[in-house]
Amino acid sequence: MLAIPSVRLATPGDARAIAGLSRDFIEYGLGWSYTPERILRAIRSRTTNVAVIEDRGDLLAVGIMDYGDAAAHLVLLGVQPAQRRRGLGRHILLWLEQCALTAGLEKIGVEVRADNPGAIGFYAALGYGARSRVPGYYRGVVDAVRLEKVLGSTGVEGAG
C-alpha cells in the first residue's frame, strides 16, 4: 500500500485548486459557492482550519473545519476521484477532529447531500450518526442529511 502524504494547513496559493475541487466534485449541480475568494477567507480565518494533502504540487484532498466554543462544523471535505478509497478522506478528517478534541470541543456536525450515499457511508464508518434530514438545504433543490459525532466516542485515535 502506498504511504499517505502528510496533512498540512493550506496557504493562499492553494485557494484556486481547493475551489476547483469543490466546484467539480462536491458542489456539482448546485452552482459554485466555494470560490477562490471564499476559500481565501477561510484560510485567513482564526476559527477555521483549511487542511490539505498534496503530492508534488497536486492537490489530492481538502478538509475545512470551523471551530466554535463547544462544537466544530465540517464545512467541506473532498478527495480527487482517482485518489479515493486509499484512506485520504479518513486521514484528513481525523487530523481536523484531533484539533477539535485538543481544543476541548464536544462534538462535530456536518451536512451531507442526501443524494450522496458514498459520503454518508464514509461518515458512518468514521462514527458520525444521522440526526435529521433537512429538505432543500442545498439551494432548495437537494436535501441534506445532518450528521453528528460526539468526540471521544470513536475513531479519533490514530490521527496524525
Ligand X SMILES: CC(C)(COP(=O)(O)OP(=O)(O)OC[C@H]1O[C@@H](n2cnc3c(N)ncnc32)[C@H](O)[C@@H]1OP(=O)(O)O)[C@@H](O)C(=O)NCCC(=O)NCCS
User: Nearer to ligand X by C-beta: 25 or 44?
Assistant: 25
Q: Does 28 bind ligand X (CB under 6 A)?
A: no
User: Nearer to ligand X by C-beta: 73 or 107?
Assistant: 73
Q: 16, 23, 73, 90: which one contacts ligand X (CB under 6 A)?
A: 90
Q: Does 89 bind ligand X (CB under 6 A)?
A: yes
User: Nearer to ligand X by C-beta: 86 or 146?
Assistant: 86
Q: Does 50 bind ligand X (CB under 6 A)?
A: no
Which are the contacts of 53, defined by CB distance < 8 A and separation ≥ 6?
4, 5, 6, 7, 8, 59, 60, 61, 62, 88, 91, 92
DSSP letters spanning 46-113: TTEEEEEEEETTEEEEEEEEEE-SSEEEEEEEEE-GGGTTSSHHHHHHHHHHHHHHHTT--EEEEEEE
CB-count exposure of residue 58 (10 Å: 0-12, 13-18, 19+): exposed
Q: Does 130 bind ligand X (CB under 6 A)?
A: no
> 103-122 mask for ligand X (x: CB under 6 A)?
---------x---x-xx-xx
Q: C-beta of 104: minimal distance to ligand X in Å?
A: 25
Which residues make up the interface to ligand X (CB under 6 A)?
A: 25-26, 76-79, 84-90, 112, 116, 118-119, 121-122, 125
